[in-house]
Each structure stands twice: as C-alpha cells, then as structure tokens.
Amino acid sequence: MLRSNPSRKFENKGKDFMLLSRRKFLLTSAVATTAALAGSTAWGASNLSTIGSGNDGGTGRRLLVETRSIEVNGRAATMFGLRQPDGTRGLFLDPDERFLVDLDNGLSEPTIVHWHGQSPPPDQDGVSEFGVPMLRPNERRSYDFVARPGTHWMHSHRGFQTQKLLAAPLIVRTSDDVRADAQEVTMFLEDFLFRDPAEVMAALQTPARADPAAGASQGSGSTPQSMPRQAGMAGMNMSGMIMTGQMSSMKMDLNDVDYDAYLANDRTLDDPEVIRVERGGRVRLRIINGAASTNFHVDLGSLQGTVAAVDGDAVQPLTGSRFGLAMAQRIDILVDLPKGAGMWPILAVREGERQQTGVILATAGTNVRKVSGMAVEQTGAVNFDQELRLSALEPLAARPVDATFMLMLTGSMQPYTWGINGKGWDNRDTVKVRAGQRVAITFHNMTMMSHPMHLHGHHFHVIAFNGKAFQGALRDTVHVPPMAKVTVAFDADNAGRWLMHCHNEYHQAAGMMTEVAYV
C-alpha cells in the first residue's frame, strides 16, 4: 500500500490540517502537494548582499535557491531547489498581494530566476541577456511589482539549471479562488536525469548517436531546413499535414531526450503524493508542465473535468478527461468527485510513449493501491485540436493589427541545430515593435518537431491556425505543431526588451531564441 507523507508541508497558515472545518479545509489546502520540500542541505546565507529596489528585507516573501538531495526510485540525487524558508516549494500569493520577494542565491554558481507568466518591469524579468547581471553565490536580490493572478511558475534562466530542477510553482490567487468551495491541488511536472544535462546536450550534438546511455532520444526525422525553403512550404496543406514529394517520407520527432524518471511534485508513481480529498468534494487542479523537454497528456481516468484556465487566464468551460499540456504551459481543471469513498489517480503521460507520473486523490481511510509507472497504451502526439476548442473568457478587445511578423521555426535533430529564420541568438532577427501597437506574430514551424513558443513580459491571444482565424485562449506559451502555422496577437503595453523562445530547454540552448524590442 502506498502512503501519504504526514511530514510534508501544507500551506495552511500554521493550522492542523486534519482538524480544520470543511470551509477552512477547502480554503487552506491549496498546496497539499507542492508546498512540500524542505531542502536537506543547510542554508548558509549569513553573508548575503542586497541589491535591487523595493523590498528592503523582511517586508515580503523570501525565496532560497539551494542545492538539495532527493530520492528518485530508491536512488539519491543532488539537484537544485527553489523554496521558502519554511520548506514550501514555490510561492502562493494571496489576492491583491504584491510580488514582493527577496531571492537568495545559495548555490556555488551564478543563477537568475524568471517569473514565468508574470509581466514585471523588464529589469525584474529574471534574464541576463539584456544587461541584468546574474546573482552571484551568496547574493540577494529584491523584486517588487504587481503580481498577475493565476497558475504560473518560476525557473532558472541560466544554462540547464531548470533541467536540474531549479523551478517551482508560482500561484497567485484571486478573491474568487478564495471564495470558491473547492480544494486546490497543485501538480508540478518535471522530467528527471541522473546524468549531467550538459553531457546529454553534447550527445545530441554528436552526429553519430548510437549509444542510448548517452541520453539522446533516437529521433528519425529530417527537416525542411536541409532543403530549399520553397519545397518545405509547398509540401504543406492547410491542415499542416505532409502531402507529397520529398517530405512524404518524413516522420515526426516527439522527444529529444530519454529520461530516467518523470516527477510530479518531486516524486514518481513508485511513491506518489497522496492527497486526501472529501467525498463529493470539488477540486481545482493546478497542473504545471515544468519539464525541460517533455510534453504530457493529462489523464483524469474515470473523472470528468472542466478546464477553467490555461496559462493563468480564464477560458470558456471545456469538459473532458484527457488534456494536452506542452512544455511551460499550465492548465486549471475543476473536478467534482464521486460521493463515495475512492482513489483517483491524476496522471501525466509522456507524449508518444507510455511512461507516466502523477498524484493520487483519495478519501480518508481508502486503501491506496499501487499505480504503474507505465500506461496501458502508448500515447500519440500532443496536437492542436484542444487549442482550437479553447476560447478566452475575456479576449483582447477588437482592434486592427498595426504590425505583423512571420517567424520561421527552423532546425533538425540531425544535425542538432535549432533557430528562428535559420538563425541563432547571436545573429537573431529582432522583432521590433512600438508601444501601443497591436502586434500579430505567426510562428511557421518548418521542422518535424513541435515547439512551445514563449514570449516574456506579455500574454497573447491565439487567433489563427494555418491561416484560419479563430478566437482562442490567452496564453504566454503556445504549442506550434510540426509543419504548421500558429498566429498570436498581443498589445505592446510593457516597453522594454523581451526574450521570445522555444521552451524546450535543449532547443533554446541550440539557438531557437530571439527578442521582441520596443523601438
């Protein structure tokens, strides 16, 4: 029998979890899962220096970047972590609370943390490409801006530190969340390596990748970048499918890396998080794909759920039991539980494979049976069908587009090179906009892999797929399928220089990154 871990922290403001009234139970159990990990390494921050502005220490929240030890399938691993001093992994802000945070770097190397989904001033975005220095070891930096409500996350923007688990949830509740008669459960998904991700990247970039132990997934597809661009465009119909000619023999590449494990709240299904729920209760699942290089299918099993938000922005209700979730995306799902006792696994299955992870919802006293780490059937690709059914509850106001851009997503598995318009970061094509403009960007994927494209500092409206307009969701990260075109629109209302990149960490490192700059 699996067991829940009573030592794990609940974000319950100091009250005993099991003794709360039903109303207080529902309002204070929001992180019954991810507010969990206290690092096993002692925190030494006595010599921290303070830079930045706004928070002069002690008046807001504090986050600690650290080295920690975790156990994965019975084997110890040294990873990075991001937690509050009480051990809570991540931040859970109350309605109307400012993002007032001191960030302490307890690593022996530099780092910087991006507040994914937030719209801060550009110098507080958590990137170093535009002159903001990294945090040195034992350095403290303060952040102070208006928090954007919703389910978001935070992660390092240096090297492969996110792959080494330097990431955590960032939840900003609304007054409606607090009033709702629902228990909140956060599920934070990650892909895990015992190996050094830098070595995995080197293996991906090695022409002959015959050794599976090197960590590179054996992708088979070539890409239109190796052919004349006209041929790549001629081989595509309006549904984004391959038609004829030289491209007809190509196969979609789903995964770059074969991982050692897949985690939900730092744990595998060998010892999953067990969250106690009420019979007949309502649960708000806040599911975050914090993986470096994996898309997932979220599987509710016998339960039916209603999507309430994606990437922190409310959508028109969409019901189902299985939902796609690309890298860096988030999804909020409302689930009404049966009135009887039971257990309900909430699973995330790796795209194109059978490996799965997840958490277990269970009523008190239920004998929790073991759930396999392998799904019964292999999944397919995460496609765009779900996106076409999503619609923002409060879309952008109707107005003409002032500036349009077409960005070609280029690259291949062999050789392992990725870019935008055939260029990497060092010779990038900058997207230049003016404050106040309505901007439309079309991502034209010329490769046989999907790409989750993320724009910093803004949320955009998904408005067209392969040239056909629709009124989609508001997002900050959009899934662009192979050989497809996705158009997004946003208002240029946050002046500065902003990164825009594929959120597959290995594609980004290989060059699929550019900037949006206000001029």
Per-residue model confidence as pLDDT tens digits over 474-498: 999 999 999 999 999 999 999 999 9
Phi first, then psi: give them for residue 14, nearest 5 degrees. Answer: 85, -5
Residue 169: its H or E element: strand 167-172
Q: Rounded distance, CA 115 to CA 155, Å?
A: 7
Q: Is the pLDDT of residue 197 over 60?
A: yes
Task: Give the residue-averaged pLDDT of 314-337.
Answer: 98
C-alpha torsion angle, residues 418, 422, 426, 427 (rounded to 10)? 180
Q: Could you report the per-residue pLDDT of 378-422, keeping only the tens digit for each?
A: 999 999 999 999 999 999 999 999 999 999 999 999 999 999 999
Q: What percent of the chain has pLDDT over 70?
A: 80
How confident is the prediction for the chain on average, in pLDDT? 85
Angle subtended at Cα 291 by Cα 96 and Cα 81, rounded to the nearest 5 degrees: 65
Q: Could you report the per-residue pLDDT of 282-293, keeping only the tens digit for each?
A: 999 999 999 999
Query: CA separation (Å) from 175 to 96, 150, 217, 475?
Result: 8, 11, 45, 21
Beta strand pairing call for 403-412 and 438-445? parallel
Q: How confident is the model at residue 246 (pLDDT cuts 50, 70, 90)?
A: very low
Task: Give the residue-averaged pLDDT of 178-207.
Answer: 96
Q: Rounded distance, CA 505 to CA 473, Å?
A: 24
**DSSP assigned state of 54:** S
Q: Kindly state the greatest CA–CA separation across the chain.
A: 67
Do 297 and 349 form a contact (C-beta atoms < 8 A)?
yes
Q: Domain segments of the chain: what residues?
A: 39-171, 222-254+384-519
Q: Is the pLDDT of residue 51 over 90?
A: no
Q: How confident is the model at residue 251 (pLDDT cuts 50, 70, 90)?
A: confident
Q: Is the pLDDT of residue 220 over 90?
A: no
Do 1 and 365 form a contact (C-beta atoms < 8 A)?
no
Give me the pLDDT at residue 253, please: 86
Q: Which of the pair, 220 or 307, is modelled with greater confidence?
A: 307
Do 376 and 479 form a contact (C-beta atoms < 8 A)?
no
Q: How confident is the model at residue 242 (pLDDT cuts 50, 70, 90)?
A: very low
Q: Return the amino acid letter for 383.
A: N
This model's pTM is above 0.75: yes
Beta-bridge partners for 151: 171
Q: Is the pLDDT of residue 35 over 50?
A: no
Do 416 and 509 form a contact (C-beta atoms < 8 A)?
no
Which three-class secondary structure state does DSSP give residue 230? Answer: helix
Do 205 and 415 form a contact (C-beta atoms < 8 A)?
yes
Supply 224's token pair.
């239109």
Q: Could you report the per-residue pLDDT of 443-465, keeping only the tens digit for each?
A: 999 999 999 999 999 999 999 99
Do 477 and 440 form a contact (C-beta atoms < 8 A)?
no
Burial class (CB in 10 A: 0-12, 13-18, 19+), 428: middle
Give me the pLDDT at residue 216, please: 55
Which residues, including other chains, have CB under 8 Å from residue 241's CB and lie 6 or more apart?
A: 483
Q: Is the pLDDT of residue 320 over 60?
A: yes
Give me the pLDDT at residue 252, please: 81
Do 441 and 405 form a contact (C-beta atoms < 8 A)?
yes
Give me the pLDDT at residue 26, please: 40
Beta strand pairing call for 261-264 and 183-192? antiparallel
Which residues, including other chains, have CB under 8 Å from residue 305's CB and lie 6 or more apart?
A: 285, 319, 320, 321, 323, 333, 334, 335
Give me the pLDDT at residue 88, please: 95
Q: Is the pLDDT of residue 222 over 90?
A: no
C-alpha torsion angle, residues 277, 94, 328, 457 (rounded to 10)? 170
Sequential DSSP letters for 351-398: TTS-BEEEEEEEETT-------SB-SS------SHHHHH--BSSPPPP
Q: Cβ atoms within 10 A of the Cβ of 89, count?
A: 26
Q: Is the pLDDT of residue 435 over 60?
A: yes
Which residues, including other chains, have CB under 8 Å from residue 202's CB and lie 6 or more apart?
A: none
Supply 102's token pair.
């001191």
Let me know if domain 222-254+384-519 sits in CATH 2.60.40.420: yes
Do 512 and 502 form a contact (C-beta atoms < 8 A)?
yes
Which residues, including other chains, have CB under 8 Å from residue 475's CB and lie 6 or more apart?
A: 310, 311, 313, 329, 459, 460, 462, 488
Q: How confident is the model at residue 3 (pLDDT cuts 50, 70, 90)?
A: very low
CATH topology of domain 39-171: Immunoglobulin-like (2.60.40)
Burial class (CB in 10 A: 0-12, 13-18, 19+), 422: middle
Supply 475's token pair.
């997002």
The reply to whether 222-254+384-519 shares the fold of 39-171 is yes
Q: Which of the pair, 27 or 155, is modelled with greater confidence?
A: 155
Q: Rounded distance, CA 516 to CA 448, Å?
A: 25
Which one, of 281, 386, 11, lies nearest residue 169 by Cα? 11
Q: Rounded distance, CA 453 to CA 480, Å?
A: 7
Beta-bridge partners for 184: 284
Q: Which of the pair, 152 or 56, is modelled with greater confidence?
A: 152
How far, in whole angstroms, is CA 5 from its chain's centroid?
26
Task: Give the residue-averaged pLDDT of 187-211.
Answer: 89
Do 289 and 484 form a contact (C-beta atoms < 8 A)?
no
Q: Is the pLDDT of residue 185 over 50?
A: yes
Q: Could you report the per-residue pLDDT of 115-148, keeping only the tens digit for each?
A: 999 999 999 999 999 999 999 999 999 999 999 9
